[in-house]
Amino acid sequence: MKTKGFLVCFTGIDGAGKTTLSKELVELLNKKGIECKYVYGRLNPFFLKPFIVLGGWIFLRKRDITKNYSEYANTKRKAIKKYSFFSRIYQKIFLFDYLLQILFKVKLPLIFGKNIVCDRYVYDTAITDLSVDMGYSHSEIRTLIKKFFYIAPKPNLVFLMDLPEEIAFQRKDDTPSIEYLKERRRFYLDVGKEEEMIILNGSKNLDELKRYIQKSFYQHIEGAKR
């Protein structure tokens, strides 16, 4: 069986198992004869990086996200609100930077018939990297995601990896705090339900999750052929 231009995404809070399961799916599909590429689909700042460094030096040099997440987050949000003009410029560069990356990493390969499995995607960039810090409401997050999809391809299949924040926090030693995860998890669940994602319990046995993901993939492939 051969498929073309198929996009599968794994999304969810840090520590939910996205990277492990996306790489497992890529390996499985390639073994089955379905050529597939792994892509890290969250923003990797390029044009935005100087602004992140400069903003951190000016507004956050006495704050450490790993030592006191609440203090860091509150300081950042106050600065964003106070300097709204610069915040708008930041967001425009953010959008340009991310969508340019998606164009080359995802959209063009799909146009040329490549199959892609994304470890994180539009949803993660919108929720984890921008919306929480900017204090977006749920409706503003949905508007932002729609803007991304003007350029970014809509996935054929999305798995939302969900699990209790306490478990996710124990899995990754670079996560700032449980509060960091809680703020983001509720948005993931809201968006996941509205987008009709397949919501999986990331605390379940890995082999069980792999089997379910494989079954879901083939069901969607067969459904697309009809």
The whole-angstrom separation of Cα 178 and Cα 79 is 23
Contact 127, 118 (CB under 8 A): no
Residue 54 lies in a domain: yes
Q: DSSP character for 154? A: P
Q: Give CA separation, 27 vs 32, 61, 74, 214, in Å.
A: 9, 42, 42, 11
pLDDT at residue 79 in the model? 76
More confident residue, 38 or 60: 38
Mean of pLDDT values over 52-75: 70
- Domain holding 124, by residue range, is 7-225
pLDDT tens sequence across 130-159: 888 888 889 999 999 999 999 999 999 999
Query: How many independent structural domains does the chain possess?
Result: 1
Residue 2 lies in a domain: no
Where do we find the tokens 């003007």? 150
Query: Which residue, 51, 87, 56, is CA-closest to 72?
Result: 56
Query: Which residue, 14, 59, 20, is CA-closest to 180?
Result: 14
At a CB cut-off of 8 Å and minimum separation 6, what does 88 contact?
none
Residue 211 lies in a domain: yes
Chain mean pLDDT for the chain: 89
The whole-angstrom separation of Cα 29 and Cα 72 is 42
Residue 197 lies in a domain: yes
Helix or strand or coil: residue 197? coil
pTM recorded for the entire structure: 0.89
Does residue 194 carry a pLDDT above 90? Answer: yes
User: For residue 4, what pLDDT band results from cuts at 50, 70 and 90?
Assistant: low
Query: Which residue, 172, 171, 167, is CA-closest to 182?
Result: 167
User: For residue 71, what pLDDT band results from cuts at 50, 70 and 90?
Assistant: confident
Does residue 26 carry a pLDDT above 80? Answer: yes
User: What CATH number corresponds to the domain at position 62?
Assistant: 3.40.50.300
Residue 201 lies in a domain: yes
Number of Cβ within 10 Å of residue 55's Cβ equals 18
pLDDT at residue 61 in the model? 65
Mean of pLDDT values over 89-98: 92
The whole-angstrom separation of Cα 99 and Cα 24 is 26
Query: Which residue, 41, 51, 36, is CA-closest to 12?
Result: 41
Quote the tokens at residue 171. Answer: 């899995």
Residue 88 lies in a domain: yes
The whole-angstrom separation of Cα 83 and Cα 143 is 22
Residue 14 lies in a domain: yes
pLDDT at residue 14 in the model? 95
Residue 31 lies in a domain: yes
